[in-house]
Amino acid sequence: MPIKISTSKNNLGTSDKPFIAKTESSGHVEFEELVRIMAAGRTTITAPDIAGTLLLLKEELARLVADGRYVKTPFGSFHVTACGLFENEDQPFTPGQGDCKHGVRLHYRPSSEFQDEVANQVQFIRTEHFVKNNPVIRSVDSVKANAETRAGDYVRVNGLRLQFDESDQNQGVFFINGSEHRAPGYAYLDGRTVVAQVPDNLEPGPYEVFIRCMNKTKDMKQVKADLALTVS
């Protein structure tokens, strides 16, 4: 999935440009899912073997780095450095004690090859700038894991400031493809998540998903999802 690129006000003072890039990720991958993805790819190694190898890599990497080594891997290098202040040249180094903030820091530096490999595969969407108090849709997907969305199913809409009065027919979740269809039911509704029913009469095809809601000043606000929802 593509990452989302927007802008935010530049408060850094390092450039005369008024805005800087703001990035929003498309989700996260837990260790178990990473192992499943690797096992299903271009390898005959089993998932338990992959998990065991990665855990062994973690243990040996920690041991070698803690031993003061500069350890290189295919995705970058690792090392530790000392940090803190000293009141005199001969003061002992005592991590976790006193007010001199002695400690060690782990550093990771990605290799240039790994950086290039990632950069060459990145896909992105340039999202519209939104007003701070306006609603925001971050994702729309089926409530069923890895399932197609069909008419009558429920979809989950995640975002910000999505609260609306579901009894008001002018507010809610709308599916638009030439004509407009309002979600007939809502299983869950709060400011960050809406679980809405796809109308039973939707024909298969792509639909733009909108949410309309009224703010405290009684102004109607509308927001559209970046990606269309495909109904099978």
Q: What are the backbone dihedrals phi and psi of residue 118, each rounded to the nearest 5 degrees, phi first?
A: -70, -50
Write down the pTM of the prediction.
Answer: 0.55
**All structural domains of the chain:** 3-82+109-125 (no CATH), 136-231 (2.70.50.70)
Give me the pLDDT at residue 179, please. 92
In which order are the strands placed within the sheet that holds 136-142?
136-142, 154-160, 193-197, 186-189
> Dihedral angle at the C-alpha atoms of 30, 33, 35, 39, nearest 10 degrees?
-160
- pLDDT block averages, 10 residues each, the chain of length 232: 82 83 83 93 91 97 97 97 95 93 96 95 79 81 86 93 92 95 94 94 95 81 91 92
The pLDDT assigned to 177 comes to 93
39-45 contacts, C-beta under 8 A, 24 or more apart:
none
Query: So what's the pLDDT on residue 173?
Result: 97
Nearest to 202 by CA among 160, 144, 168, 152: 152
Per-residue pLDDT at 129: 60
What is the model's pLDDT at position 55?
A: 97
